[in-house]
């Protein structure tokens, strides 16, 4: 177990998701062979989440249980046309209270927060996605709550409770809609043979191992390059920041991919058959790290990075905001992430960069008439995307204003300022 913890590089979320996988696989096998009825599948997922939360978060698991109970009360008491605003508002307030408590510990008391509290808040952020997605589905009428009828069968509570607390999604995405979740649970007994299922699962586990392994040469490379304040070698500091951001991004990619594995191991992700007749197990994905890193536009990177969260933000804020929807979306993302100073700055940089990318692409696209011009544009824009996203990742991850000093000393902070100039000029 110590060796496995070492492999996970001391990342508790990655470690717990690996531990989660055998129980998810057991659930799928029992459901597929008909040993679990539909209602028992919901109970298994809910109890699994309940036990998993207590074991990993201790008393802080109450943060999640409070949100789950609150969701059921709102569904029971409110009309669907009013449920979303109350659900999203109360959930975000509850989450923000704990984010501010962490900032109080960090910046006022100068204490390191309990790791179980950090894990609980991470799970609470994911629950915010699920409950707000469900409430908006209810408001838009894409699902119908039986609570609106005269029948008040307690069994109706179980799918909603299972959706909010199911153990495969407790510590990691991807986010799925309530309808997709219900469909996945119900159709497990009719899913195909284990061969494509195991092939897909093995492929993703290998990707996780590769992503974790990549971190080690990146760490050694980071140690070999010395970051010097006011160094005459500007490129050295910029490369150091870029490698640091790659290392931080690998943590995200590995966590997202192992979370896909846990969901697929539980049978969540089978989407029937493709047009070619092949079995599709790629229903849930937060994007491919290889595709994401190859993108040459900041706006495309923003849509692909943590893809299901990007879709959720677009649905919650961008499509529903009448005033500056792009800026409001990134501002809401900063609020959802915790409102640390570095996070606010990071998401402001990202919004400015995306806006500048739209204007620059619209201006330059008619001039890209030859092949070499297109290749030059793609290459330069890829480098610009990598470096500006590096600024965002370092700010968001370091959280404090120390990240600003770090970026300014490396002169990489000039790149976001270029986006501001592009917006002003164009």
Same domain assignment for residues 163 and 92: yes
Same domain assignment for residues 393 and 297: yes
Same domain assignment for residues 161 and 25: yes
Same domain assignment for residues 352 and 322: yes
Same domain assignment for residues 152 and 282: no
If phi over 0 gives left and psi between -120 and 50 gives alpha, with beta otherwise, what is residue 20? alpha
Average pLDDT, integer, range 4-12:
67
Q: Which of 158, 187, 216 is the last residue of a domain?
A: 187
HSE-up of 54 (CA within 13 Å, CB side)? 5
- How far is residue 379's CA from residue 368's CA, in Å, rounded to a whole number? 13
Q: What is the pLDDT of residue 102?
A: 96
Query: Annotated catalytic residue: which of 82, 271, 337, 361?
Result: 337
How many structural domains is the chain composed of? 2
Question: pTM of the predicted model, to two decimals?
Answer: 0.92
Same domain assignment for residues 159 and 285: no
Same domain assignment for residues 219 and 304: yes
Q: Which residues are CB-neighbours of 406 under 8 A, at least 6 positions away?
A: 241, 394, 398
Same domain assignment for residues 104 and 14: yes
Same domain assignment for residues 199 and 314: yes
| Rounded percentage of the chain residues whose pLDDT exceeds 70 | 89
Q: Which of 160, 187, 214 is the last residue of a domain?
A: 187
Query: Annotated catalytic residue: which of 20, 237, 264, 306?
Result: 306
Asked about 149 being catalytic, the answer comes back as no
Same domain assignment for residues 251 and 329: yes
Q: Which of 157, 187, 217 is the last residue of a domain?
A: 187
The residue with greater pLDDT, 210 or 152, is: 210
Phi, psi of 412 (to 5 degrees): -75, -15
What is the domain extent for residue 282? 194-425
Identify which of 311, 292, 299, 277 has the alpha carbon closest to the alpha carbon of residue 358: 299
Same domain assignment for residues 209 and 157: no
Identify which of 268, 202, 198, 197 has the alpha carbon closest to the alpha carbon of residue 44: 268
Asked about 306 being catalytic, the answer comes back as yes
Average pLDDT, integer, range 263-278:
71
pLDDT at 125 over 50: yes
Identify which of 43, 46, 64 has the alpha carbon closest to the alpha carbon of residue 166: 46
- How far is residue 315's CA from residue 327's CA, in Å, rounded to a whole number? 14
Q: Is 358 exposed, middle or buried (0-12, 13-18, 19+ CB in 10 A)?
A: middle
Under the banding of pLDDT at 50, 70 and 90, the label for residue 5 is low
Same domain assignment for residues 62 and 157: yes
Write out pLDDT tens, residues 177-203: 998 898 889 887 765 567 777 888 888
């Amino acid at each position: 177990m110590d060796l496995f913890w070492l492999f996970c590089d001391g990342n508790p979320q990655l470690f717990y998701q690996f531990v989660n996988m055998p129980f998810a696989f057991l659930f799928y096998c029992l459901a597929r062979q008909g040993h679990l009825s539909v209602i028992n599948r919901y109970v298994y997922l809910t109890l699994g989440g309940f036990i998993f939360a207590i074991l990993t978060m201790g008393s802080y698991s109450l943060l999640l249980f409070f949100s789950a109970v609150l969701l059921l009360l709102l569904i029971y008491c409110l009309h669907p046309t009013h449920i979303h605003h109350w659900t999203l508002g109360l959930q975000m307030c509850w989450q923000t209270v704990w984010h501010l408590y962490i900032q109080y510990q960090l910046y006022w008391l100068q204490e390191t927060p309990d790791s179980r509290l950090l894990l609980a808040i991470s799970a609470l952020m994911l629950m915010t996605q699920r409950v707000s997605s469900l409430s908006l589905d209810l408001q838009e009428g894409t699902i119908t709550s039986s609570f609106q009828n005269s029948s008040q069968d307690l069994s109706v509570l179980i799918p909603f409770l299972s959706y909010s607390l199911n153990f495969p999604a407790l510590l990691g995405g991807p986010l799925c809609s309530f309808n997709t979740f219900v469909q996945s649970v119900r159709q497990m007994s009719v899913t195909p043979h284990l061969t494509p299922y195991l092939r897909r699962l093995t492929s993703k586990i290998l990707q996780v191992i590769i992503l974790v392994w990549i971190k080690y040469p990146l760490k050694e490379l980071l140690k070999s390059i010395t970051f010097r304040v006011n160094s005459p070698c500007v490129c050295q500091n910029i490369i150091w920041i870029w490698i640091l951001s790659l290392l931080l991004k690998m943590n995200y990619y590995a966590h997202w991919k192992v979370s896909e594995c846990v969901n697929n191991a539980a049978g969540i992700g089978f989407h029937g058959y493709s047009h070619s007749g092949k079995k599709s197990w790629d229903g849930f994905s937060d994007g491919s790290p290889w595709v994401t890193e190859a993108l040459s536009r900041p706006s495309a990177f923003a849509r692909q990075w943590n893809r299901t969260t990007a879709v959720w933000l677009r649905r919650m804020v961008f499509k529903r905001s009448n005033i500056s929807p792009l800026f409001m979306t990134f501002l809401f993302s900063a609020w959802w992430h915790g409102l640390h100073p570095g996070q606010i700055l990071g998401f402001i940089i990202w919004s400015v960069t995306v806006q500048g990318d739209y204007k620059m692409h619209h201006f330059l696209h008619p001039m890209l008439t030859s092949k070499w011009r297109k290749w030059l544009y793609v290459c330069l824009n890829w480098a610009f995307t990598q470096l500006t996203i590096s600024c965002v990742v370092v700010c968001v991850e370091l959280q404090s204003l120390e990240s600003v000093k770090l970026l300014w000393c490396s002169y990489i902070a000039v790149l976001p300022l270029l986006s501001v100039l592009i917006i002003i000029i164009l």
